[in-house]
Structure 1
Amino acid sequence: MAIHLKRVHHIAIICTNYEKSKHFYVNILGLRPIREIYREERRSYKLDLAVGDEYQIELFSFPSPPSRPSFPEAAGLRHLAFEVDSIDDTVSEIQAAGIEVEDVRIDPTTNKKFTFFTDPDQLPIEIYEGA
């Protein structure tokens, strides 16, 4: 018997500064807010963000979450990747927002352009040029 997974439903991200991360994901990356709630009992915000028409990111805030080990890379989820139409245009927009972006590289298997930058909590984010 095989499990039948239909698609990715959402990706959850815990941030240390809710307003800063909300600004980053909404105003810089351009994700569309779906709903925002404050859960008093957990002292936590939850913001659902649309990625295109099919995917969602849940942005959470919690009091004093531990830091994410990124360097050196730790076991577990490595990074979040988004497909874009133009790496060059996207890099220019990200840099215009004051965010440092790594040099653009070419994937040796697909010959597609890609690069990385980080969110306000140093979560690695990849942008990958589509077809």
Structure 2
Amino acid sequence: MLKRIHHIAIICSDYQKSKHFYTEILGLEIIREVYRKERLSYKLDLALNDVYVIELFSFPNPPARVSRPETCGMRHLAFEVLSLETAIKRLETYNIKTEPIRIDEFTQKRFTFFEDPDKLPIELYEI
């Protein structure tokens, strides 16, 4: 029945700041950008390695996301990386702090977390 995840939708509080974060800092590619006047909302479709992955939305005055304490719902967004050190160094050039590197107790793979501009937790998982 299910084949794969088609996309993840994210609502941001500051469209230009989040657009910069996901495209310039994380390096996602813009597929299309649409301003929906009737909703006062942008919709930005983003790809990673030519695969459509994220819809970034803006809406007027969205409520803040509760991240701590952890609540029901989506916990975080995770991206695979070849080297945590390389990814962390890139984030540091934008003054983005990451948590200390941890080891997945089941796979023995290394990972870390950081946050997007709206404090959505993002994981980097080394493959």
Q: How many residues align?
A: 127
Which residue is 1:49 aligned to? 46
- 1:72 to 2:69 alignment: yes
Query: Aligned match of 2:100 in 71, 93, 103?
Result: 103
Which residue is 2:22 aligned to? 25
| Distance in structure 2 (CA, Å) of the matches to 1:123 and 1:99 | 13
Q: CA RMSD in A?
A: 0.7
Length-normalised TM-score, structure 2: 0.98
Per the alignment, in what secondary structure is the counterpart of residue 45 of structure 2? strand
In the TM superposition, structure 1's runs of 4+ consecutive aligned residues that sit over 3 Å from their partners are none
Length-normalised TM-score, structure 1: 0.95
| Contact kept in structure 1, 2:42 and 2:59, CA below 8 Å | yes
- 1:36 to 2:33 alignment: yes
Tell me which amino acid in the other structure corresponds to 1:24.
Answer: F
Per the alignment, in what secondary structure is the counterpart of residue 55 of structure 2? strand
Per the alignment, in what secondary structure is the counterpart of residue 72 of structure 1? coil
Identity %: 62
Which residue is 1:16 aligned to? 13
